[in-house]
C-alpha cells in the first residue's frame, strides 16, 4: 500500500513538472515571429547596467530624464517606444515615463528632452513627462525598455501603459533593456 502511494506521488510530481515545462515552452510559441526578442538592439545611458542612477535624474536632484543612447535598431523599424518603470514599488509596477512614435533613426534622446514627433503617455505621477526615481524605502530597480516596432502607433497622447502595450502587440521587431538602481539617503 505504501509503495503504491509513493508511486502515485512521484507520477503526480512528474505530471506537474511536465505541465510547467510544456506551458513555459508554449508561452513563447504564442508570440508572433516579430514579437520574439531578437536582442541585437541596444540601450545605454549615463549610468551602466545594474548601477546607481545619478541623483540629478531623481526626485532628490533635478528630476530630469537622463540621456538615452539607442543603437542596432532593426532596418524594418517604423518607430520606437520607450517605457521606464519600477517593478519594486509597493503598490505594484510604477510607470515613470512613456514615449512612443520615436523616430527609429535617432541615435539618442537628449537629457531632459522629448524627440520631435514623439508622444508621451500618462505616468503614475499623473503627468505627461519623465518622473525620476523616488523610492519610499530600500533600493529599487528602474527598467528603461526600448522597443522597435514595424508601425507608428495611432495612440492619443496621455494614454496609459496598458493602452500602449495593447497597441504594440504583434508589432515588436526587437527590444533592449537597461536597468538602473536607486535608493534614497
pLDDT in tens, 17-32: 655 555 544 433 333 3
Alpha helices in the chain (DSSP H): 2-29, 161-168
Task: Inform me whether the pLDDT recorded for 37 exceeds 70.
Answer: no
The mean per-residue pLDDT over the stretch 39-61 comes to 96
Q: Is the pTM of this model over 0.85?
A: no
Whole-number Å distance between alpha carbons of 160 and 120: 9
State the CB neighbour count (10 A cutoff) for residue 172: 20
Nearest alpha-carbon partner for 175 in 153, 158, 150: 150
The mean per-residue pLDDT over the stretch 167-177 comes to 97
Task: Inform me whether the pLDDT recorded for 184 exceeds 60.
Answer: yes
Task: Inform me whether the pLDDT recorded for 93 exceeds 50.
Answer: yes
C-alpha grid cell, residue 19: 505541465
Task: Inform me whether the pLDDT recorded for 8 exceeds 90.
Answer: no
Cα separations in angstroms, 128 against 89, 114, 123: 20, 11, 6
pLDDT score of 92: 94
In the predicted model, what is the mean pLDDT of the chain?
88
User: Under CATH, domain 37-182 is a member of which superfamily?
Assistant: PEBP-like (3.90.280.10)
Domain spans of the chain?
1-30, 37-182
pLDDT single digits (tens) 100-124 = 999 999 999 999 999 999 999 999 9
Amino acid at each position: 500500500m505504501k509503495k503504491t502511494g509513493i508511486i502515485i506521488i512521484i507520477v503526480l510530481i512528474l505530471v506537474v513538472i511536465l505541465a510547467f515545462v510544456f506551458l513555459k515552452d508554449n508561452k513563447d510559441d504564442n508570440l508572433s515571429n516579430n514579437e520574439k526578442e531578437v536582442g541585437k538592439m541596444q540601450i545605454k545611458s549615463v549610468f551602466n547596467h545594474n548601477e546607481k542612477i545619478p541623483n540629478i535624474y531623481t526626485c532628490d536632484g533635478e528630476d530630469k530624464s537622463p540621456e538615452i543612447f539607442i543603437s542596432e535598431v532593426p532596418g524594418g523599424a517604423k518607430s520606437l517606444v520607450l517605457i521606464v518603470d519600477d517593478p519594486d514599488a509597493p503598490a505594484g509596477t510604477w510607470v515613470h515615463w512613456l514615449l512612443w512614435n520615436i523616430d527609429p533613426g535617432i541615435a539618442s534622446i537628449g537629457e531632459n528632452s522629448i524627440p520631435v514627433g514623439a508622444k508621451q503617455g500618462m505616468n503614475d505621477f499623473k503627468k505627461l513627462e519623465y518622473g525620476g526615481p523616488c523610492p519610499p524605502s530600500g533600493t529599487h530597480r528602474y527598467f528603461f525598455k526600448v522597443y522597435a516596432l514595424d508601425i507608428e502607433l495611432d495612440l492619443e497622447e496621455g494614454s496609459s501603459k496598458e493602452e500602449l502595450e495593447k497597441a504594440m502587440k504583434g508589432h515588436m521587431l526587437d527590444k533592449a533593456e537597461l536597468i538602473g538602481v536607486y535608493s534614497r539617503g
